[in-house]
Amino acid sequence: MTRSALPRIALLALIWGSAFLWIKLADRGFSAVEVTLARLALGAAVLFIIVRVRREAVPRSGWLWAHIAVAALFANAVPYLLFAVAEQTVDSSTAGIINATTPLWTVVLALAVRHQKSVTSWQAAGLITGFAGAVLIFTPWHTAGGLLSAGGLECLAASISYAVSAQTPHVTTEDVAAIAVLGIIGTGLAYVLNYQIITSEGATVASTVTYLLPVVAIVLGVLVLGETITMITLAGIALVLAGVALTRRRVKPASGDHRVE
């Protein structure tokens, strides 16, 4: 990792980690659908402006646009909507923590569709550790806020993909500002920054932001919204992040032996 990568990763973590706060604030005045549409529209507008300023070519292949549409559905529209719905009933910090399970689900889905045929011992240990942490976060033995709660399931569905609710509109300046920040900075500019890091540092370095998002979400949730975090929840997120780290370890042959990187 180069010296210039660290501040960019920290900035990206701050932007994406704070998105759960902005969703929570925007939910107070807009419906989940309105939050999602505004976020996507503002983000797309930012990207369009950047493309025009850079004079970059817009893809013309219909097949490529079909791929982009499918990717946008599962990487943007569906999870954005589910998180907006979920945060009507769960804390922003909880949503940020659950989002950290995404890499674990990636391994599970890769196995399910046979994109990955087997798991290493490190990945198996990571999956067990990570999902044990998710159980601690959900505390299913507490029925009020456990795994079977609607908000918890919606957050899980959002992280896996990565019931539209209607609210009576009561829009304030705070609500509008939250959506503007979420769409312009948290979606449009964040994606530009993310792909800049991937281009210059590689996907592995860029993925380290995963470990910072829940930290930012927890700190902002506590400081701004007065949310509470229990020791059990902190233990759970520690296990989830440890599991993510283990699933990303690679075993490669070196001089006839196997070593762990």
Identify the pLDDT of residue 198.
85
Span 200-220, average pLDDT: 80
Span 223-238, average pLDDT: 84
> Could you tell me the pTM of the whole model?
0.75
Identify the pLDDT of residue 167.
66
Q: Dump pLDDT digits (tens) for 13-28.
A: 899 889 999 999 999 8
Residue 37 has pLDDT above 80, yes or no: yes
Measured CA to CA in angstroms, residue 255 lies from 242, 251, 252, 259 at distances of: 29, 13, 10, 10
Nearest to 87 by CA among 217, 190, 211: 217
- Among the ranges given (24-38, 106-120, 168-182, 227-241), the one the predictor scored with the smallest mean pLDDT: 106-120
Residue 61 has pLDDT above 80, yes or no: yes
pLDDT tier for residue 257 given thresholds of 50, 70 and 90: very low
Percentage of the chain lying above the pLDDT 90 cut: 17
Q: Dump pLDDT digits (tens) for 157-209.
A: 666 665 333 364 567 888 889 999 999 999 999 989 988 888 888 776 777 78
Identify the pLDDT of residue 98.
78
* All structural domains of the chain with their residue ranges: 5-249
